[in-house]
């Protein structure tokens, strides 16, 4: 059996605070569609038997019917591929969701909040879906595979080995329990970072988010392509699909003397066409930085956000000679610093 495994697409995400550019959200939503279509084209071209979507296909709060219809039309283009969806915390299987209120294509199966088995000739597909925006126990510890002679797949949205309180709210499952169950492949989602093949024959896999959704998701994003033969031997491959990767670039302003010099430095950066960049100012500044004013003067549209982590560069001796409240304060600080230096000097002489 050949399969494709994806998760965490988050269709129609608002991308709030992602960029200082107004239209970046629209660009990312178009990228979601384009990359999702690439997945369908790969499935058609390679005769893939199964598509596993491990939760957070869309954003329940923001999803538009037109987007659901777009997704379903793409599903119709792969009628020979069986599609299994495990709703997650952003797209739970609830009363007013599109999972319950929309007529999906015949090749689509959506799991609900009870662990369910879909029995096929040589494969049994098990799955579980969130029925709320949180899930603390799906009951996997009380579940057993019915026929271990067949290939057994689990499709689920979960936090493997969730340790803290927040992680445990999103279907935390100990890895040792899943491994003991004996699934031939666990298609899971929720963690947006790729986790597969980190040790030989890994069978519990996070594909990561389909596209990078922000600067906390640096690196490649895409899908897992896998195959399990009649001997239950598993072969997997990660295929990157995301068209725009996020990158952070630090610029040290310590030796710069003006805003113009800083802007010139930014505009001289060579940024690849597939990168979306956050500029982070660091160091001690010798001039005031207004990141919004600077942003207007940046010519490269691949730069979408600016963060200022600088600290002001003070000439304390000069400041201490000013007749201001701040100057008087600095003068006292320098005096105390000098007295402390002298005390250390006297103590050193005594000890020697």
Whether residue 261 sits in one domain with residue 231 = no
What is the distance between the alpha carbons of residues 216 and 213, in angstroms, rounded to a whole number?
8
Whether residue 99 sits in one domain with residue 62 = yes
Whether residue 257 sits in one domain with residue 275 = yes
Per the CB < 8 A criterion, the answer to whether 321 and 327 are in contact is yes
Q: What is the pLDDT along the chain (352 residues), one digit of tens a residue?
A: 999 999 999 999 998 878 877 788 888 999 999 999 999 999 999 999 999 999 999 999 999 999 999 999 999 999 999 999 999 999 999 999 999 999 999 999 999 989 999 999 999 999 999 999 999 989 998 889 999 999 999 999 999 998 788 888 999 999 999 999 999 999 999 999 999 887 767 999 999 999 999 888 888 899 999 999 999 999 999 999 987 888 999 999 998 888 999 999 999 999 998 889 999 999 998 888 998 899 899 999 889 999 999 998 766 677 678 778 777 877 787 788 788 888 877 777 666 5
Whether residue 267 sits in one domain with residue 169 = no
CATH number at residue 13: 3.60.21.10
pLDDT reported for residue 351? 66
Whether residue 334 sits in one domain with residue 304 = no
| End residue of a domain, out of 240, 258, 287 | 240
Whether residue 249 sits in one domain with residue 236 = no
Whether residue 331 sits in one domain with residue 206 = no
**CA–CA distance from 268 to each of 69, 250, 307, 308 (Å)?**
44, 14, 18, 19
As to burial, measured by CB atoms within 10 angstroms (0-12 exposed, 13-18 middle, 19+ buried), residue 247 is middle
What is the distance between the alpha carbons of residues 279 and 225, in angstroms, rounded to a whole number?
34
What is the distance between the alpha carbons of residues 174 and 162, in angstroms, rounded to a whole number?
7
Whether residue 181 sits in one domain with residue 65 = yes
Whether residue 108 sits in one domain with residue 43 = yes
pLDDT reported for residue 243? 79
pLDDT reported for residue 188? 97
Whether residue 258 sits in one domain with residue 207 = no
Whether residue 260 sits in one domain with residue 179 = no
Tally of domains in the chain? 3
Per the CB < 8 A criterion, the answer to whether 134 and 169 are in contact is yes
pLDDT reported for residue 352? 58
Whether residue 213 sits in one domain with residue 129 = yes
* Domain that includes residue 271, residue range: 245-312
24-46 helix and 65-76 helix, angle to the nearest 10 degrees = 20
Strand partners, 188: 156
pLDDT reported for residue 316? 65
């Amino acid at each position: 059996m050949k399969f494709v495994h994806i998760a965490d697409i988050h269709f129609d995400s608002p991308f709030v605070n992602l960029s200082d550019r107004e239209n970046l959200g629209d660009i990312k939503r178009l990228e979601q569609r384009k990359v999702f279509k690439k997945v369908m084209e790969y499935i058609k071209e390679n005769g893939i038997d199964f598509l596993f979507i491990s939760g957070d296909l869309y954003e329940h709060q923001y999803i538009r019917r037109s987007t659901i219809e777009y997704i379903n039309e793409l599903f119709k283009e792969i009628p020979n591929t069986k599609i299994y969806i495990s709703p997650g915390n952003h797209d739970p299987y609830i009363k007013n969701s599109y999972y319950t209120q929309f007529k999906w294509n015949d090749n689509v199966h959506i799991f609900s909040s009870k662990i369910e088995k879909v029995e096929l000739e040589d494969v049994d597909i098990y799955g579980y879906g969130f029925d709320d925006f949180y899930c603390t126990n799906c009951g996997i510890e009380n579940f057993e595979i019915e026929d271990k002679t067949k290939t057994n797949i689990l499709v689920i949205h979960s936090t493997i080995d969730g340790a803290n309180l927040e992680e445990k709210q999103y279907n935390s499952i100990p890895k040792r329990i899943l491994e003991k169950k004996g699934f031939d492949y666990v298609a899971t989602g929720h963690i947006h970072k790729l986790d597969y093949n980190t040790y030989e024959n890994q069978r519990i896999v996070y594909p990561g988010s389909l596209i990078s959704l922000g600067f906390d998701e640096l690196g490649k994003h895409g899908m897992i392509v896998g195959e399990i033969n009649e001997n239950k031997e598993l072969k997997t491959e990660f295929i990157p699909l995301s068209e725009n990767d996020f990158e952070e670039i630090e610029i040290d302003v310590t030796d710069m003397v003006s805003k113009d010099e800083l802007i010139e430095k930014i505009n001289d950066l060579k940024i690849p066409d597939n990168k979306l960049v956050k500029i982070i100012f660091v160091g001690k500044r010798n001039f005031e930085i207004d990141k919004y004013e600077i942003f207007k003067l940046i010519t490269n549209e691949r730069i979408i956000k600016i963060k200022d982590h600088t600290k002001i560069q003070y000439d304390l001796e000069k400041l201490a000679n000013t007749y201001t409240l701040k100057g008087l304060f600095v003068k006292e600080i320098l005096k105390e610093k000098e007295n402390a230096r002298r005390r250390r000097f006297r103590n050193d002489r005594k000890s020697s």
